Structure 1
Amino acid sequence: MQVATTFRHMEVSAPVRDYLQEKLSRVKKYIEEPIDAQAVLSVEKKIRHRAEVTLVAKGITIKGTETTNDMYAAIDAVVDKIERQLKRYKDRLKRHKPLSGRERQVQKTVLKAESVDEEGSSEPIIIHSHSFSVKPMSVEEAVMQMDLLHKDFLVFTNDRNEDINVVYRRKDGNYGLIEPQQGA
């Protein structure tokens, strides 16, 4: 496992880095693939110790953040949180059949806001564009992936009918699903 550790507002500490790597090695039992981890350890207002860890492995990204009065306790708490998320993810994957070979290519584009507002401009200006594969998944798996990524919405291919769907977090805390209307 590759662990990149960043220290903010505190001195670089080899014992803390070693402790973090030792604790993160526990997640290997949930994912066999190579795992990349980015950790940001920081001290806020000289008393709040914050540990933020992002794991990228096997097509998923899991983030966790914890703040306590002790850096070691913050590391323990964030690793426990990530471990619970991975355990839940692995349990849900066991209940679903993997659907390989039916991935779609999706392109994400970010437009410059001023170019959309200008009346004289015929084409908006593209700032950033990114293509990625989207594997078919169930609605439940999409909600789980959205929670793991700490996002407010997720665009995915529904494994039931192979349509592009969107799940989103509602203001009341529940989830919504947007499906295309068939044959209207």
Structure 2
Amino acid sequence: MNIIISGKQMELTDGIKGAIEEKLGRLDFYLHPETEVKVTVSAKKARQKIEVTIIPISGPIIRAEDIEENLYAAIDIVYDKLNKQLRRYKNRLQDRHQKNQSIRFETVETPDVEVEEEDDFQITIERNKKFDMKPMSAEEAVLQMELIEHDFYMFRNIDTDEISIVYKRKTGGYGLIEHE
């Protein structure tokens, strides 16, 4: 596991880097040795924020973040979130394998560590929507999103003719998601 740690608006001490590497290092039994883990630590006033993005060799990107007054508490909370997500993902892979369904992702082995049993995680799609998408600019899409009072809006980008998504950011402003 390759951990890349960066700081925004703060200087990272060896103690902070060591705490992050030690805590996230415990997740290495879930991950391929060449998996990239990007960690960003930032500070605003008395609030410390840690964002962790795990980019596996194959499979979904896993992400967690937390904001606390104490950075070490935030590291612990992010570790717990990532551990829970990775356990769920591993359990889903094992369930598919046992049902002889195809598995797109690498198998994951569990160490000899006791893990609390979680409730069965079921994905249930409650509603399915279809709608026409007329080509529009990102600015028009934001206006449409505001009109329907949603947090995101999917549209066909008039410039690229690709499906894109605009969304409201927690910090204010808007974001745009486009296909690479």
The SS at the match of 2:12 is coil
Structure 1 residue 77 displacement after superposition: 0.9
User: Aligned residues, how many?
Assistant: 113
For 1:29, the equivalent position in structure 2 comes to 29
Q: Structure 1: where are the runs of 5+ without partners?
A: 102-110, 118-123, 130-184
> Is the aligned partner of 1:48 residue 2:37?
no
The SS at the match of 1:60 is coil
Deviations 1:135-158 (A, max 9, x none): xxxxxxxxxxxxxxxxxxxxxxxx
- Between the aligned partners of 2:38 and 2:9, the Cα distance in structure 1 is 17
Deviations 1:96-136 (A, max 9, x none): 135268xxxxxxxxx8728x99xxxxxx432889xxxxxxx
Preserved CA contact (<8 Å) 1:112 1:127: no
Preserved CA contact (<8 Å) 1:112 1:126: no
- What are the equivalent positions in structure 2 for 1:22-171 lying under 5 Å apart? 22-45=22-45, 47-57=46-56, 58-97=58-97, 98-99=101-102, 113=137, 124-126=158-160
RMSD between aligned alpha carbons?
2.8
Preserved CA contact (<8 Å) 2:51 2:63: yes
Q: Structure 1 residues 10 and 34, CA, compared in 2 at 3 Å: closer, same or farther? A: same
Preserved CA contact (<8 Å) 1:55 1:61: yes
Q: Structure 1 residues 100 and 88, CA, compared in 2 at 3 Å: closer, same or farther? A: closer
For 1:104, the equivalent position in structure 2 comes to none
Deviations 1:44-102 (A, max 9, x none): 22x1111110001132210001111111111111011101110111011110135268x
Preserved CA contact (<8 Å) 2:8 2:43: yes
Identical columns (%): 28
- Between the aligned partners of 1:16 and 1:9, the Cα distance in structure 2 is 15
Q: TM-score, normalised by structure 2?
A: 0.54
**Structure 1 stretches (4+) deviating beyond 6 angstroms?**
none
The SS at the match of 1:88 is helix
- Between the aligned partners of 2:8 and 2:72, the Cα distance in structure 1 is 15
